[in-house]
C-alpha cells in the first residue's frame, strides 16, 4: 500500500489574507501571493492538500457554517484559476466562550488539539509522520507536533506576532507558504 502523505494548511493567514475581523464573506477572499503556486507544487508532488481551520466566528455569532462553505468555495475557485486545488477541508466552529449554545464547548478539533488532523488522516489513509502542518499560529504547530507531523511556521497572517512563541525550538520558519514549500518540502 502506498504511503499517503499530506500537507495540512491553516487557511486564514497562510492561504488567504486574514482580514481584521473574521474572514467569512466571499468578497474577503484574497489569496496571499505565492500560495496558489505553493499548492500547485504540492499537488504535482503527490501530496494530499488539506485545509484545517479554526472558525470560532461561528460560535461567537459572527457568521454561520454556510458562510465558511461559501468562502472555501470561492477560495478553491480562485486557486483553480492558478492550476491549484485543495483535496479536503476541515474546520472547527467551536469555542469555549461562544455565544451560540451548540458551538460553545471545549472540543478535540479546535487547534491546538489535533482532532481535524486525526479525522483527515483516518478518512484519507494518511501517514501523519510523512506529512506536514503549516501555519501562522503557535496552535497550528502544537496540533501538528502532537500527531508527529513535521511542522513549518510562516510569517504571513499572525506569524510575525506569534513567531516569538517558537523561541528555542527547531521549527523551521518561512516567509510565506511558497517559501515553506520550496525550502522544506519539495
Contact yes or no for 177/32 (Cβ under 8 A): yes
Q: How confident is the model at residue 21 (pLDDT cuts 50, 70, 90)?
A: confident
Q: Which of 10, 18, 136, 140 is catalytic?
A: 10
3-state secondary structure of 30: coil
Known catalytic membership, residue 73:
no
Residue 20 pLDDT > 90: no
User: Residue 139: its pLDDT value, please?
Assistant: 98
Instruction: Read off the pLDDT of residues 58-92 as tens digits, 9 standing for 90 and up.
Output: 999 999 999 999 999 999 999 999 999 999 999 99
What is d(CA 78, CA 47) in angstroms, rounded to the nearest whole number? 20
3-state secondary structure of 153: strand
3-state secondary structure of 114: coil
Q: Which of 2, 12, 87, 140 is catalytic?
A: 12
136, three cell numbers: 501562522
Residue 164 CA: distances (Å) to CA of 15, 19, 60, 67, 157: 21, 22, 28, 32, 14
Q: Alpha helix (H) ranges present in the chain?
A: 35-44, 65-80, 115-124, 138-146, 159-162, 177-184
CATH number of 6-184: 3.40.50.1000
Which residue reads 468578497 in cell numbers? Answer: 27
What is d(CA 84, CA 137) in angstroms, rounded to the nearest whole number? 24
Residue 1 pLDDT > 70: no
Q: Tell me the domain boundaries of the chain.
A: 6-184
What is d(CA 96, CA 46) in angstroms, rounded to the nearest whole number? 37
User: Residue 6: its pLDDT value, please?
Assistant: 98
Question: DSSP class of residue 4?
Answer: B
Q: How confident is the model at residue 127 (pLDDT cuts 50, 70, 90)?
A: very high
Q: How confident is the model at residue 28 (pLDDT cuts 50, 70, 90)?
A: very high
Known catalytic membership, residue 12:
yes
3-state secondary structure of 111: coil
Amino acid at each position: 500500500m502506498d504511503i499517503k502523505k499530506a500537507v495540512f494548511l491553516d487557511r486564514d493567514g497562510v492561504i488567504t489574507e486574514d482580514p481584521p475581523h473574521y474572514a467569512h464573506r466571499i468578497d474577503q477572499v484574497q489569496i496571499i501571493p505565492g500560495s496558489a503556486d505553493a499548492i500547485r507544487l504540492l499537488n504535482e508532488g503527490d501530496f494530499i492538500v488539506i485545509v484545517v481551520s479554526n472558525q470560532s466566528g461561528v460560535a461567537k455569532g459572527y457568521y454561520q457554517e454556510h458562510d465558511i462553505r461559501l468562502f472555501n468555495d470561492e477560495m478553491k475557485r480562485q486557486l483553480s484559476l492558478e492550476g491549484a486545488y485543495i483535496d479536503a477541508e476541515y474546520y472547527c466552529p467551536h469555542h469555549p466562550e461562544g455565544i451560540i449554545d451548540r458551538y460553545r464547548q471545549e472540543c478535540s478539533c479546535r487547534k491546538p488539539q489535533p482532532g481535524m488532523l486525526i479525522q483527515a488522516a483516518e478518512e484519507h489513509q494518511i501517514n501523519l509522520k510523512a506529512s506536514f502542518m503549516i501555519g501562522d499560529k503557535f496552535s497550528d504547530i502544537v496540533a501538528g507536533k502532537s500527531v508527529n507531523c513535521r511542522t513549518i511556521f510562516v510569517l504571513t497572517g499572525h506569524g510575525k506576532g506569534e513567531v516569538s512563541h517558537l523561541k528555542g525550538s527547531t521549527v523551521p520558519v518561512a516567509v510565506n507558504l511558497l517559501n515553506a514549500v520550496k525550502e522544506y518540502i519539495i
